[in-house]
Homo-oligomer: A and B are copies of this chain.
Amino acid sequence: MSDVVTAAMIVIGDEILSGRTQDRNIGHLAAVMTAVGIDLKEVRIVADEEDDIVAAVNALRARYTYVFTTGGIGPTHDDITADSIAKAFGVPCDYDAKAYAMLAESYAKRGMEFTEARKRMARLPVGSEHIDNPVSVAPGFRIGNVHCMAGVPAVFQAMLDNVVPTLRTGAKLLSAAVHCPFGEGVIGGPLAEVQKRYPDTIIGSYPKFADGTFWTELVVRARSQDALDAARIEVEAMVNGLAEQR
């Protein structure tokens, strides 16, 4: 299993925790990671509080191959991601010459003042590399295995597109879905038996509820196509067998 690559995500922002803003980045990162063969293992949503961010970053960067953060990299007083990440890594947070020059040039071109607030966006943990921002200039940054990106979905997605080609990707976890018209109470026993016979696969059962009845989406996952196919065929046979009994 040496080619398993793992990741965690930290969503930074009071606005998600208050329910004011609906997160749209978790699902996007999850789908992208799955597509490139990286296992997203944990997500944490934390408040705009330095201690909380530091604790989450240090817990997760030690445990997973990569950590991705969204939010808190803008120019306002509640944007404390750069300072918090610097603290987590024990390095200073300071004006980055390249980011500063890039921002200064961009605002000059547009005839806009390079305010103190805007200058804040050039402050990065010392030792960071930029993550290009094709939407709105201010860069994200990477330090160690931690990648810090914007919270605005359009900007996050553009930054992530720049990050993905730099990542080591693993053996892709293949998956196959089997529609099951029965609730989990019907299939739970036989499904557990199939899982036992195919230890190299992960068989998930996701209950759905609509119009007063339960049905189930069964998902088989495996790192080899052969293992996937063998287990999927048994799951399908199980569902068909149950249908014939009814």
Contacts and interface: CB of A to CB of B under 8 A. Distances in A.
Interface of A: 11, 14-23, 26-34, 39-48, 52, 74-79, 107, 112, 115-118, 120-121, 135-136, 151-152, 154-155, 173, 175, 177, 184-189, 191-192, 195, 202-209, 214, 219, 221
A46 to B, nearest CB: 6
Contacts of A33: 19
Contacts of A45: 26, 42-44
A232 to B, nearest CB: 15
Contacts of A177: 20
A44 B41 contact: no
5 tightest CB-CB pairs across the interface, nearest first?
Answer: A117-B188, A19-B30, A19-B31, A77-B192, A43-B45
A187 B115 CA distance: 9
B14 A22 contact: no
B44 A30 contact: no
Nearest to A20: B219
Contacts of A189: 115-117
